Structure 1
């Protein structure tokens, strides 16, 4: 079973807090490339970091950021609502374990991170290009509250045991930015999200801000 889940926060009764070392990003930023990959019958447009782009610390396991890609529409829903776009930031540990951060977007104001990539996205259709140095911090992964569960990758080989983190706050992306991301995929795969699955007995945890910390 793929791990795109229906998240219901109205009935969520488990609110936890996390320590200050939950998120840890190193300062070194290396050049980046765009690449378009074909996974069986699913085209995915992704931004791939060369070298060390930072890491995520979950229960003392360090997962290095390796790439980001997008799905339209979203693969997760909140209270039955599907959104226009979902970003997946894929991290991998030294043991080959995966952790993915998911960020949901709806149509609205332009997203600052996408704005910096817009021209490159438009020019990268059907080819790989080098877009230079981009700091992954600009995606602003550090946001609470968020959901967490253990599932699988949503594209083949659909690896199990993946730690998923879904940011609860829905961000905005402009129509132009969304069209550019769809156009980079095209070939009939502009909408490349797999159908949403039920929880299937999985536990989903909602993590909130620490004491004296404002939500981000």
Structure 2
């Protein structure tokens, strides 16, 4: 029964559909990344956001002590798709029509959408990256799995460029892309850190399977600045681990 309720809760969250930023553009005043409606106060803004302050398995985290397992790398089966690129007032979001998905030990999860945070919400051994992408997936029960892709400054990223070029400048705006190939964004090494966490924005729903890729990809300074011109900072601070274990393949 508890598992069914969790699945129902997450399904309701998805029904609002916007990012780990799951609020719609019309809800942008409800929360933000700065005082008085910033992360430190999310849990008090609405009763639906209470987990943001009371939850014990919140995301993001600083990944430090990990347990090595014989878990396989991510089983990824993405395919090129048309996509909508939208500005929801918290981030830029990419929503493909049918882009495939991933398979974990817990089953298959279909790709739902991807969005970006700067700086990265995830930290590795205390290190923050200039940008991350969260690839959000959902299984038939409504449960979520997120693949976190870290970006470091370096070479121009040709796969990312069409997305950046299509970014609407204002909240509520959207654009259409003829094709997005999510697989081309990923590194060759799909080894990942695995842990149980939450959405990183209100309502901070827990029960999310996180898969943080251990290998970063690159983007250019100009590409980073293009995103930061719209969102200079849209990252939640890291949250307490609270006795959770983080596993890594290998």
TM tier, smaller: 0.7 to 0.9
Equivalent residue for 2:85? 34
Tell me by how many angstroms 1:181 deviates. Answer: 1.4
Higher helix proportion: 2
Q: Aligned equivalents of 1:134 and 1:101: distance in 2? A: 17
Structure 2: 5+ residue runs without aligned partners? 1-54
Q: Pick one of 194, 201, 212 that aligns with 1:166.
A: 212
Cα 1:131–1:26 shift into 2, 3 Å: closer
Q: For each residue in 1:99-155, what CA deviation from the matched residue of structure 2 results, as whole angstroms up to 9, or x when unmatched?
A: 00001112211223212333223xx21120101111221122663331000000101
Cα 1:92–1:141 shift into 2, 3 Å: farther
Tell me by how many angstroms 1:77 deviates. Answer: 0.8
Cα 1:184–1:132 shift into 2, 3 Å: farther
Q: Pick one of 94, 99, 123 that aligns with 1:47.
A: 94
Tell me by how many angstroms 1:174 deviates. Answer: 1.1
Match of 1:178, SS?
helix
Equivalent residue for 2:68? 15
Q: Aligned equivalents of 1:109 and 1:44: distance in 2? A: 23
Equivalent residue for 1:192? 234
Alignment pair present for 1:80 and 2:133: no
Match of 1:199, SS?
coil
Q: Aligned equivalents of 2:192 and 2:163: distance in 1? A: 26
Cα 1:75–1:24 shift into 2, 3 Å: closer
Tell me by how many angstroms 1:17 deviates. Answer: 2.8
Equivalent residue for 1:125? 169
Q: For each residue in 1:138-185, what CA deviation from the matched residue of structure 2 results, as whole angstroms up to 9, or x when unmatched?
A: 122663331000000101221211000001112222111111112234
Match of 1:201, SS?
coil
Higher strand proportion: 1
Q: Aligned equivalents of 1:83 and 1:150: distance in 2? A: 21
Match of 1:137, SS?
helix
- Asked if structure 2 preserves the Cα contact closer than 8 Å seen for 1:36 and 1:45, the reply is yes
Q: Aligned equivalents of 1:170 and 1:141: distance in 2? A: 7
Cα 1:36–1:145 shift into 2, 3 Å: same
Equivalent residue for 2:20? none
TM-score (normalised: structure 2): 0.71
Equivalent residue for 1:201? 243
> Which segments of structure 1 move beyond 6 Å, counting only runs of 4 or more?
none
- Asked if structure 2 preserves the Cα contact closer than 8 Å seen for 1:125 and 1:183, the reply is no
Match of 1:25, SS?
strand
